[in-house]
Amino acid sequence: MMRMTVLASGSKGNSTVISSARTRILVDAGLSCRELLKRMALAGEDASTLNAILITHEHIDHVSGLSVLARKLKIPVFFTEPTHQAWVRMLTPRTTMTYSRWLEHIQREKEERACATAEKEAGAYNPSTEAASIAHISAEAEALDSTLNRTRRIYAGADPDVREVAAAPAKKAGPAELPAVEYFRAGSDFSIGDIDISSFTIPHDAADPCGFVFESEGIRMALATDLGYVPPNVKAALRRIDVLLLESNHDLEMLKVGPYPWSVKQRVMGRNGHLSNSVTCDFLENDMDSGVQTLILGHLSEHNNHPEIVRMGAEQSLLKRGLAPRLVVAGQKTNTEVFAY
Ligand SMILES: [Zn+2]
Ligand SMILES: [Zn+2]
């Protein structure tokens, strides 16, 4: 037997529990730790028995509660390596400046410090303090020069102008510290407990985003959200599925007239953005596995979609196909019921 419960789905937070008889996995942790624990309890899923957290990609609506929850439950987190690195970078405070600005900054610092020292010494002039002052200034200048040269060496051979400079080295447990990290490759198959997992690459503007098919005792459940379109590898991955959580992000007309700036609209509509209702309906009409027993549509945009529009469109598409799976529209504010097969 397998179970899927969507704890939250939408632009403001995503998380789903997948369980077999012996294994329990949380896919994404895009709500606060407290809210995730609350919703698991409401769904009758015991958080203390979670075996692992699996991350689709590093966007904040999928990871906002991750480190706190993983540390609290002391369980491993499965990522692809690029996703883990992107997540760590996201949590590491950094300042960005161009190489030439950095050189200016160092040069200015050097002059200011030399001036300050000279001014301090100037008050009590005698030949011996002048010599001491010059020695002091040149020692400071040398120290700055060696920093400058070391940085020049670091930058040597690197072509882009913009570099990220760590604001402070992490000394103690940082926000990206996790009890254990396990890597899988996007597109590979692996197992957690008695759940077999097939990962597949999805087209989305993140480091290495993935969707998943989970299988145990012949039951297959899949999760595919955050994708700009449905490429052949995703269609191939979503065969022989019993429960499918699929994105239906926005209504194109609502998005066009909606409140987002044009650049964001282009991002959402782009090939690495999110599935529109019409593209999702097209998938239901032409490609969805006819054996799907429960279809959950999710990751709805808060501003550019409405659950009833999603439901009506999907019903029409399924009717054209002559299919009648159980249809659920997952939301942001409450968890779904438990879908068990
Ligand atoms: Zn995303
Ligand atoms: Zn998302």
State which residues have CB under 5 angstroms from ligand 2, the bound ion: 61, 226
Residue 58 CA to ligand 1 center (angstroms) comes to: 7
Residue 272 CA to ligand 2 center (angstroms) comes to: 12
247 close to 310: Cβ distance less than 8 angstroms = no
Bridge partner list, 189: 198
Nearest ligand, CA of residue 204? 1
Q: Which residues in the chain show pLDDT less than 70? A: 94-97, 119-173
Q: Which residues lie closer than 8 Å to 109 by C-beta, 6 or more apart?
A: 144
pLDDT score recorded for residue 135: 52
pLDDT score recorded for residue 142: 56
DSSP string covering 50-119:
--EEE-S---HHHHTTHHHHHHHHT--EEE-HHHHHHHHHHHS-EEEEEHHHHHHHHHHHHHHHHHHHHH
SS3 content of the chain, % helix, strand, coil (to 5): 40, 20, 40
On whether the pTM is more than 0.75, the answer is yes
Same domain, 87 and 99: no
pLDDT score recorded for residue 151: 46
pLDDT score recorded for residue 170: 47
pLDDT score recorded for residue 154: 44
Last residue of a domain, one of 114, 138, 166: 166
> What is the per-residue pLDDT across 105-140, written as a single tens digit (0 to 9) for each?
778 878 877 877 776 666 544 545 445 444 554 555
Same domain, 183 and 242: yes
Nearest ligand, CA of residue 205? 1
pLDDT score recorded for residue 174: 83
pLDDT score recorded for residue 163: 42
Same domain, 247 and 333: yes
Last residue of a domain, one of 132, 166, 200: 166
Torsion-angle region of residue 132: left (phi > 0), alpha (psi -120 to 50) or beta? alpha
DSSP string covering 18-54:
EE-SS-EEEE---S-HHHHHHHHHHTT--GGG--EEE
pLDDT score recorded for residue 56: 98
Q: Which residue has the tokens 């098919």?
A: 213
Nearest ligand, CA of residue 206? 1
State which residues have CB under 5 angstroms from ligand 1, the bound ion: 59, 226
Same domain, 20 and 86: yes
Residue 317, domain extent: 3-91+174-340
Last residue of a domain, one of 166, 200, 226: 166
Same domain, 150 and 56: no
Q: Which two tokens stand for residue 228?
A: 């700009």
Residue 206 CA to ligand 1 center (angstroms) comes to: 7
